[in-house]
Structure 1
Amino acid sequence: MATAKPASPSPPSTAVPATNNTAAAAVKPAAEQLLEVAEDEVVIDFKPNAKCRADLRLRSLHPSLPVAFKVQTSSPLKFLVSPPRGAVQPLSSASLRVVLRPQQHAPPSFPRSRGDRFLVLSSLSAAHLDSSSASSSAGTGGATAIRLRVFFGGPYLLRLAADAGDAAAVRLILRRQPHLLPLLEPEAAVPDGAEQWAPLHAAAARGDTGEVRRLGPDALGARDREGRTALHVAAAAGEVAAAAALVDMGADAAATDARGRTPLDVAREKGYQEVVDVLERWELVMTAARRGDLQSLESLLSKRAGVRGRDQYGLTALHLAAIKGHCDVIALLAGSGCMDIECEDVEGHRPLHLAVEGGSAEAVELLLDMGAEVHATTRRGATPLQMAVTMGYEAIAQLLRGRGADEAAAPALCIASSSSSSISCA
């Protein structure tokens, strides 16, 4: 049971003189605790796209006077409280209802929210509750305050945590809501020591985009026992922002799980149209870049999220525009800062390498003008100049030499060899 906790200790000078026992009896509760809250947290069974409710029970500790109360929340756009204020009769109880407005996605952090808080203020005078200093004067004779955190639980989040292999979240939910245990598969109820999911999977499943970005591109290669990537997980959970962040980090949107499904397939199966839109947007960006469709590309980029994806070879839209020699698309993608001019595919080819491979002197010159590294090497050591010489593009070779390219920098013989017509060195 939560009781009032003063925001700061009461100074000794507030003690009531013993010569006025009647006044002391009336004043003492106002200086200490006036209400109890039966619940120590606001516990909400979360369901997406639905109003979620929690009840709080207040009990007056004052023997003779009504206790006025007021409830505040750190997230007024998300929560409603009914009634938000009122009075509890001496030594009586009252109930409040907290309503979470419909949310499309799971809370960014659960079971315990990092950002949502409630404050229950109480006083013998309602006027004290409306003063700007009510919370700071808690415990000093004005108002007392009880602070409550928010706990998100329920079947939906329990399954989400179990599916994500988030053992800590599963344990916390079951500790507070043990009646939910039968809802889990036996193996999910007690996750084994070897976690089924990597941290990136768990962050994607709960839509924690901040954690997704913190873990970064280096974590993208992880897969679970069913071959699912973090992007599969975000798609299965309907987490649009997490899916877009993963795509922009370079997640392979064409990756297939053990059942041969791509993240797009998963999103379609689940009916998460916004995730479908993000993943299809990436495919449309790639297609527009390949075709040189500047108008379509501008429209797609205006939507911002989910446009910097890569295919199974690590190729971006900028790579495709470069190999096709679409200078206006290169200028749009690299000039706007949307894509890194030095981005690499899985073999280390940068857009400049592919512009050379495509035989477009104009694209090569544009990329150099935009700051592309003339001595860039692939993972096997191929430079743009080596590629131009090997492929017989003398005009491009001369252009590169004129920009400082040194043939002696890496003398290996280079040949075309990959499915993306990329270059490797023998």
Structure 2
Amino acid sequence: MATAKPASPSPPPSTAVVPAANTAAAADKPAVEQLLEVAEDEVVIDFKPNAKCRADLRLRSLHPSLPVAFKVQTSSPLKFLVSPPRGAVQPLSSASLRVVLRPQQHAPASFPRSRGDRFLVLSSLSAAHLDSSASSSAATGGTTAIRLRVFFGGPYLLRLAAEAGDAAAVRLILRRQPHLLPLLEPEAAVPDGAEQWAPLHAAAARGDTGEVRRLGPDSMGARDREGRTALHVAAAAGEAEAAAALVDMGADAAATDARGRTPLDVAREKGYQEVVDVLERWELVMTAARRGDLQSLESLLSKRAGVRGRDQYGLTALHLAAIKGHCDVIALLAGSGCMDIECEDVEGHRPLHLAVEGGSAEAVELLLDMGAEVHAATRRGATPLQMAATIGVTRPSRCWCEAVAPNEAAASGFVHRVLVFLLDIVCVDSWCPLLNPELFILCNLYQESR
């Protein structure tokens, strides 16, 4: 299938074009006044294979007192019929034309905007001028011309473009014919049974940031049959704002499609530098969080870099800062409200889980101070407290101990297990329960629970 070129600005309203005459003639004669206007800026045809396809045009006379003669020509007379091909429009009145595309077995060679099909609407106060050659009409100065391009759309071509992953063509069709959007919903019937895009894919393809934000939370992980996420589609369509919105809502910026390409790979292939910048900034955010580079992170945030994006494991910048124990980065990301302190990776690990795993008592205490849930369970049922007991907490903080209700902890055996572990290492670590307030609190919790 021939695909459409990347999105281009919509054509301006149809206006009269005066054929260029020689310079001397142009100097001697005043410019020809526009006589007609066409309500449509393009000939829009809903294409169906092996069927006649029609489009209507509406002409309006701009002359206040005389009828305006018109004649319609096409660059593809074997494909198109125009009814009526010529006529006259009464002063300040309107007339309707019908363009008919003869049945075509195959989809247009280029769509939605045809590269080779054009229409020319000639107008004059004298019908005789319309029968003259273009050059002679221009010489007499009595004819104006309006040029129209052909736009092929409709359900058939929309589905064809969607199935081929031609995001640019989908975007153009939906911008011209937004009523076709429901056809891209998963439950829409498809002749060959191919999997269709989710509504989020379609919204990303046409750059509808508002719709992307509305749909995103419920269908962020949706993929088409080629393994493309909505972020892949936004990257392929060059929709930087939609891509930024998806990253900001936590889209997996490292997801790969069936061909192993990430959204960044797709944007680079297509040459969409704005999208590349959006996705590269997300990678820089992850790197800065992992390294504890607070200055770089602050600079990226000032440039509205997305911080909620995730890698292939579902890890966010906050997860990386937590496992590395970078408290200043944690404070920036979570304390400013940029990120949810309870965000989860694909295994259900929250930042507190990873702070425990990383062995940073300071990061654990900071997250607990910020309200992190000590009993939050992963997909396998592990809580931060369990992980602390299993891995071994050598410096439990007062916040850590006070976050556990004594009876609840005792019932689950968590305090006992942590206490036994700590008592096992007292000799090695030279701790004394009576001198260490954190361990003393833990001992008291254990005694109260017995």
1:234 CA drift (Å): 1.2
* CA offsets 1:167-195 (integer angstroms, 9 cap, x no match): 99979969999999999999999864544
CA contact (8 A) 1:45 1:154 kept: yes
Give the match's secondary structure for 2:282: helix
* CA offsets 1:78-125 (integer angstroms, 9 cap, x no match): 999999999999357899999999999999999999999999999999
Q: Which structure 1 segments of 5+ residues have no match?
A: 398-405, 418-422
CA contact (8 A) 1:113 1:150 kept: yes
CA contact (8 A) 2:163 2:194 kept: no
Q: Give the Cα–Cα distance (whole angstroms) in 2 for the partners of residues 344 and 160 of structure 1.
A: 37
- In 2 relative to 1, CA 361–21 (structure 1 residues): closer, same or farther, beyond 3 Å? closer
Larger mean Cα displacement after TM superposition, 371-380 or 32-41: 32-41
Larger mean Cα displacement after TM superposition, 137-146 or 197-206: 137-146
Q: Give the Cα–Cα distance (whole angstroms) in 1 for the partners of residues 385 and 242 of structure 2.
A: 40
- In 2 relative to 1, CA 313–84 (structure 1 residues): closer, same or farther, beyond 3 Å? farther
* CA offsets 1:214-268 (integer angstroms, 9 cap, x no match): 2223312222222222211111111111111221222211111222111111111
1:208 CA drift (Å): 1.7
Give the match's secondary structure for 1:233: helix
CA contact (8 A) 2:352 2:372 kept: yes
- In 2 relative to 1, CA 223–16 (structure 1 residues): closer, same or farther, beyond 3 Å? closer
Q: Give the Cα–Cα distance (whole angstroms) in 2 for the partners of residues 360 and 86 of structure 1.
A: 84
- In 2 relative to 1, CA 135–373 (structure 1 residues): closer, same or farther, beyond 3 Å? farther
- In 2 relative to 1, CA 176–89 (structure 1 residues): closer, same or farther, beyond 3 Å? same
* CA root-mean-square deviation: 14.3
* CA offsets 1:264-295 (integer angstroms, 9 cap, x no match): 11111111111111111111101100000001
Give the match's secondary structure for 2:403: helix
Q: Give the Cα–Cα distance (whole angstroms) in 1 for the partners of residues 352 and 428 of structure 2.
A: 16
- In 2 relative to 1, CA 35–362 (structure 1 residues): closer, same or farther, beyond 3 Å? same
1:380 CA drift (Å): 2.1
Larger mean Cα displacement after TM superposition, 150-159 or 311-320: 150-159
Give the match's secondary structure for 1:221: coil
- In 2 relative to 1, CA 273–141 (structure 1 residues): closer, same or farther, beyond 3 Å? closer
1:411 CA drift (Å): 3.6
> Which residue in the other structure is 1:96 paired with?
97
* CA offsets 1:118-172 (integer angstroms, 9 cap, x no match): 9999999999999x99999999999999999999969999699545779999799
- In 2 relative to 1, CA 289–57 (structure 1 residues): closer, same or farther, beyond 3 Å? same
CA contact (8 A) 1:4 1:35 kept: no
CA contact (8 A) 1:344 1:350 kept: yes
- In 2 relative to 1, CA 18–329 (structure 1 residues): closer, same or farther, beyond 3 Å? closer
Q: Give the Cα–Cα distance (whole angstroms) in 2 for the partners of residues 267 and 19 of structure 1.
A: 42
Larger mean Cα displacement after TM superposition, 294-303 or 364-373: 364-373
- In 2 relative to 1, CA 261–125 (structure 1 residues): closer, same or farther, beyond 3 Å? same
TM-score, normalization by structure 2: 0.53
CA contact (8 A) 1:2 1:36 kept: no
1:321 CA drift (Å): 0.5
CA contact (8 A) 2:83 2:99 kept: yes
1:59 CA drift (Å): 2.6
CA contact (8 A) 2:44 2:150 kept: yes
Give the match's secondary structure for 1:128: helix
Q: Between Structure 1 and Structure 2, whose CA radius of gyration is higher?
A: 2
1:328 CA drift (Å): 0.6
Larger mean Cα displacement after TM superposition, 375-384 or 172-181: 172-181
- In 2 relative to 1, CA 139–387 (structure 1 residues): closer, same or farther, beyond 3 Å? farther
- In 2 relative to 1, CA 297–59 (structure 1 residues): closer, same or farther, beyond 3 Å? same
- In 2 relative to 1, CA 164–339 (structure 1 residues): closer, same or farther, beyond 3 Å? farther
The answer to whether structure 1 residue 387 and structure 2 residue 387 are counterparts is: yes
> Which residue in the other structure is 2:243 paired with?
243
* CA offsets 1:392-417 (integer angstroms, 9 cap, x no match): 1x9999xxxxxxxx763884899999
CA contact (8 A) 2:228 2:256 kept: yes
Q: Which structure 2 segments of 5+ residues have no match?
A: 393-401, 414-425, 431-440, 444-449
- In 2 relative to 1, CA 245–177 (structure 1 residues): closer, same or farther, beyond 3 Å? closer
Q: Percent identity?
A: 94
> Which residue in the other structure is 1:414 paired with?
427
Give the match's secondary structure for 1:424: helix
Q: Give the Cα–Cα distance (whole angstroms) in 2 for the partners of residues 281 and 18 of structure 1.
A: 50
1:340 CA drift (Å): 0.6
1:304 CA drift (Å): 1.7
Count of aligned pairs: 411
Larger mean Cα displacement after TM superposition, 170-179 or 372-381: 170-179
